[in-house]
């Protein structure tokens, strides 16, 4: 499966989460997003989405807010602790979006545990 992974603020491509997805047989597109310009991060994400047309977009923290602000067509969104209240203008998600969260997150308020397996299952789930 082809996955666009959008990392969080002060993170870099190639972290634990995108590597886990790649190690489980997925093609992962993982662009470097700027920390200081949200609109540029959205532009870069859209520029990666358009030619690759991934089946899933995974956004972690600020990357979740970026994912919410791109035109992702029919791709499934999997948002990990999305920082949507802090970044961007979109305040709702499209139907079928999965949101995973962790009680241990000390930046974005809690929802449910976020093990790596749950992220992988969310990407693989069909509607």
Are 45 and 70 spatial neighbours (Cβ–Cβ below 8 Å)?
yes
| pTM recorded for the entire structure | 0.81
Choose among 101, 86, 92, 95: nearest CA to 38.
86
Helix, coil or strand: residue 98: strand
Q: Which residues contact 50 (CB under 8 A, 6 or more apart)?
A: none
Q: What is the CATH number of the domain that holds 67?
A: 3.40.50.1820
Identify the three-state secondary structure at position 125. Answer: coil
Q: What is the pLDDT along the chain (127 residues), one digit of tens a residue?
A: 999 999 999 888 888 899 999 999 999 999 999 999 999 999 999 999 999 999 999 999 999 999 999 999 999 999 998 888 888 888 888 989 988 866 665 555 544 444 667 777 777 875 5
Number of domains in the chain: 1
Give DSSP secondary structure letters for 50-82. Answer: HHH--SEEEEETHHHHHHHTS--TTPEEEEES-
Q: Which domain holds residue 21?
A: 2-124
Show contacts of 112-117: CB within 8 Å, 24+ apart: 114/80, 114/81, 116/16, 116/17, 116/20
């Amino acid at each position: 499966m082809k996955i666009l992974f959008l990392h969080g603020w002060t993170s870099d491509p190639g972290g634990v989460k995108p590597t886990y997805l790649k190690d489980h047989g997925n093609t992962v597109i993982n662009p470097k997003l700027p920390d200081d310009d949200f609109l540029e991060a959205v532009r870069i994400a859209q520029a990666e989405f358009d030619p690759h047309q991934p089946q899933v977009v995974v956004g972690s923290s600020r990357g979740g807010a970026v994912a919410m602000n791109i035109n992702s067509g029919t791709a499934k969104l999997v948002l990990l602790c999305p920082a949507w209240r802090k970044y961007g203008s979109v305040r709702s998600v499209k139907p079928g979006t999965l949101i995973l969260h962790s009680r241990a997150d000390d930046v974005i308020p809690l929802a449910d545990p976020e093990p790596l397996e749950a992220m992988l299952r969310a990407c693989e789930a069909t509607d």
